[in-house]
Amino acid sequence: MSTFLVLPPRELLEHAVTEFVNRLMPGLPKPLGLADVLLAHVVAGLPRHEQAFVIYREELPDGADTASVLQEAFGAEPGDRVLEIGPPRNLAPASLKETFIVGTVSALPAAR
């Protein structure tokens, strides 16, 4: 089983991580790609049997069904988990929507 992490746009994620570090450690320089480093650690914490794929929101067409796009463009299969993470709002945590890719049902009746 694979997990597809659908994240907010890269720029928003980088800004949120940098802002957090600025509050935590003001005045210290921030390494380039800080959000990518943090994300790599988070993905490494997933169960070992899961393969994780990171997709940023800007990589998906506007208004398209996320599950369909993941199947068509990114190889998602029935049973794969999709975690859609929305942008954080003020001091509230980001939203999280968990779904699973469902299999298609044949339109033809079974032969008897």
Task: Render pLDDT for 59-85 as a digit per residue (tens, 0 to 9).
Answer: 999 988 999 999 999 999 999 999 999
Residue type, 83: L
**Cα angle for residues 67, 64, 8 (degrees, 5° grid):** 80
At 3-43, the pLDDT tens digits run: 999 999 999 989 888 888 999 999 998 888 889 999 999 88
111 has pLDDT over 70: no
Q: pTM to 2 decimals?
A: 0.81
Residue 87: is its pLDDT beyond 90?
no
What pLDDT is stored for residue 108 in this prediction?
52
* Partner residues linked to 84 by β-bridges: 6, 97
pLDDT at 109 over 80: no
Provide the residue ranges of all domains of the chain, joining segments of one domain with +. 2-100
pLDDT reported for residue 61: 93
CB of 86 closer than 8 Å to CB of 8: yes
Gap between the terminal Cα atoms of the chain: 33
Give the mean model confidence (pLDDT) for residues 34-61. Answer: 90
Rounded Cα–Cα distance for residues 61 and 70 (Å):
11
Residue 91 predicted with pLDDT over 80: no
